[in-house]
Chains A and B, each alone.
Chain A
Amino acid sequence: DVKVTQSSRYLVKRTGEKVFLECVQDMDHENMFWYRQDPGLGLRLIYFSYDVKMKEKGDIPEGYSVSREKKERFSLILESASTNQTSMYLCASRGSRGGWNTQYFGPGTRLTVL
């Protein structure tokens, strides 16, 4: 079974703090994704990575950055957390066979910024 894990289920941070969300997958997938999920807005793509050290912006990259130093690990960084970044963050991974492949999701991190 594919396993995608995220470093925290719940996280509470202060405005202005630097926040790291970690995601690890164990299926040697080339592609990894970070989404944020908000009620009434569905899932919105923040960033994705199709290879080590490669990244591309999604629909809402402002205020976020990412890092992929190893194939299995994809980190989302909030350089200076703000209250409007309070949300559920989902990580996903997918193999390289193109659009047919399913995405495998982690359990999510519910981030609250005070």
Chain B
Amino acid sequence: AQTVTQSQPEMSVQEAETVTLSCTYDTSESNYYLFWYKQPPSRQMILVIRQEAYKQQNATENRFSVNFQKAAKSFSLKISDSQLGDTAMYFCASNSGGYQKVTFGIGTKLQVIP
């Protein structure tokens, strides 16, 4: 069974600053994928960034990057130059290979302060 843990229920950051959201996971699979999803207030959940476990290089998408520490089973999300539109719930998620089920963490509510 997979588990995903997000230990920061709420965070805040000043506009233009950098913030890091933590996520740890546990899986017995050797091949798996990790995701960060964003759910803005009253809007649909969308993918922010994803990482394949067998790739050493950390994924980046514009201002979003991850710090993937496979041995520690850690997958944190760094948001640089935070913008007001980054205010949202952020969910860390994982799934294994071709298996259809995705396991989500409980989410971190991020508030960007002007």
Residues of A participating in the B interface, judged by any CB pair closer than 8 Å: 4, 31, 33, 35, 40-45, 48, 50, 56, 58, 90, 92, 94, 98-100, 102-103, 105-108
Contacts and interface: CB of A to CB of B under 8 A. Distances in A.
Given A99-B97, A106-B44, A45 B102 contact: yes
B43 A42 contact: no
A90 B45 contact: yes
B96 A107 contact: no
Given A102-B35, A106-B44, A48 B101 contact: yes
A48 B103 CA distance: 13
B45 A105 contact: yes
Contacts of B96: 99
A103 B102 contact: yes
Mostly helix, strand, loop or mixed at chain B's interface? loop
B98 A98 contact: yes
A57 to B, nearest CB: 10
Contact of A42 (B35, B95, B106): B106
A40 B98 contact: no
A99 B33 contact: yes
Contacts, number: 53
B91 A58 contact: no
Interface of B: 6, 9, 31-33, 35, 37, 43-47, 50, 52, 91, 95-102, 104-107
A106 B44 CA distance: 6
A42 B107 contact: yes
A48 B6 CA distance: 24
B47 A102 contact: yes
Contacts of A56: 100
B100 A50 contact: yes
B62 to A, nearest CB: 16
A41 B106 contact: yes
Given A99-B33, A99-B98, A105 B44 contact: yes
14 contacts: A4-B44, A42-B105, A42-B106, A42-B107, A43-B91, A43-B104, A94-B100, A99-B33, A100-B33, A100-B52, A103-B37, A103-B47, A105-B44, A106-B44
A99 B91 contact: no
